[in-house]
């Protein structure tokens, strides 16, 4: 799979979008600002709707990826800042078009889920960026609330736990969209996740054997 991803990245060559996440975040901020105007809700015009897409509103097949995360101004500002940080950091780490490939896969997978289930969202896919960063920089530390040093791997585990929670409490459509949103992550990091899971299981078995 890594070879296929490398081939896709090479074919994109110099044509990939530099600073992709910067443009995505600016678009999300723009949609949020449009909500303040005394016109029809921008979210309702841009959100995914299988029926309306098939009726001719084809832009909805793309613009749902531009919907801002959250509802309050504070949550949106924090979420957009975090998305910008994650996206630009991953683009630097992956060097070149690989981040574009990841985001394109996320778009294709969530769109496919939308046409299958009649519903989709960009929320779950954007959460996978936290998992990606945790896999590439597990021991980097952040100052949580500017006070507590926390390693990225623990933030990644919390993000994974949140996704599990959303899967448990969600309806069937939400669960399918969530699983499809995870496909790019597992295409990129499936082998590493499997090896980490095996190592964690061995450590657990070793500790259990020690206490017998």
Tell me what pLDDT residue 144 has. Answer: 65
Both tokens of 116, joined, read 């299958």
Tell me what pLDDT residue 130 has. Answer: 95
Name the one residue in this structure whose structure tokens are 């736990």: 161
Q: In angstroms, what CA-CA distances link 85 with 36, 58, 79, 142, 153? A: 26, 31, 10, 12, 16
Tell me what pLDDT residue 51 has. Answer: 96
Tell me what pLDDT residue 10 has. Answer: 76
Tell me what pLDDT residue 182 has. Answer: 97
Q: How far is CA 207 from the centre of its chain?
A: 34
Both tokens of 105, joined, read 């896969």
Query: The pTM is what?
Result: 0.88
Query: 80 in helix, strand or coil?
Result: helix
Answer whether 90's CB lies under 8 Å from 188's CB. Answer: no
Tell me what pLDDT residue 2 has. Answer: 65
Q: What is the CA radius of gyration of the chain?
A: 19
Which residue ranges form the domains of the chain, and what is each CATH number? 2-210 (1.20.1540)
Which pairs from 111-115 meet CB under 8 Å and 24+ separation?
111/61, 112/180, 113/176, 113/177, 113/179, 113/180, 113/181, 114/48, 114/50, 114/61, 114/64, 114/177, 115/50
Tell me what pLDDT residue 169 has. Answer: 96
Residues of the chain with pLDDT under 50: none
Tell me what pLDDT residue 110 has. Answer: 98
Tell me what pLDDT residue 206 has. Answer: 66
């Amino acid at each position: 799979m890594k070879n296929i991803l490398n081939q896709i990245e090479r074919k994109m060559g110099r044509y990939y979008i530099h600073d992709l996440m910067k443009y995505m975040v600016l678009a999300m901020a723009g949609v949020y600002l449009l909500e303040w105007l005394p016109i029809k809700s921008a979210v309702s015009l841009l959100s995914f709707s299988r029926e309306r897409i098939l009726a001719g509103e084809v832009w909805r097949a793309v613009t749902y990826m531009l919907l801002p995360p959250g509802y309050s101004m504070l949550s949106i500002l924090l979420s957009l800042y975090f998305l910008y940080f994650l996206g630009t950091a991953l683009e630097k780490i992956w060097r070149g078009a690989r981040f574009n490939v990841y985001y394109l896969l996320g778009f294709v997978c969530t769109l496919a889920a939308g046409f299958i289930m009649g519903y989709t969202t960009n929320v779950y896919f954007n959460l996978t960026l936290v998992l990606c960063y945790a896999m590439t920089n597990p021991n980097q530390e952040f100052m949580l609330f500017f006070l507590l040093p926390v390693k990225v791997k623990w933030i990644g585990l919390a993000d994974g736990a949140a996704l599990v929670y959303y899967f448990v409490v969600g309806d069937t459509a939400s669960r399918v969209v969530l699983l499809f949103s995870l496909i790019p992550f597992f295409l990129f990091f499936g082998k590493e996740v499997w090896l980490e899971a095996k190592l964690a299981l061995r450590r657990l078995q070793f500790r259990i054997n020690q206490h017998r």
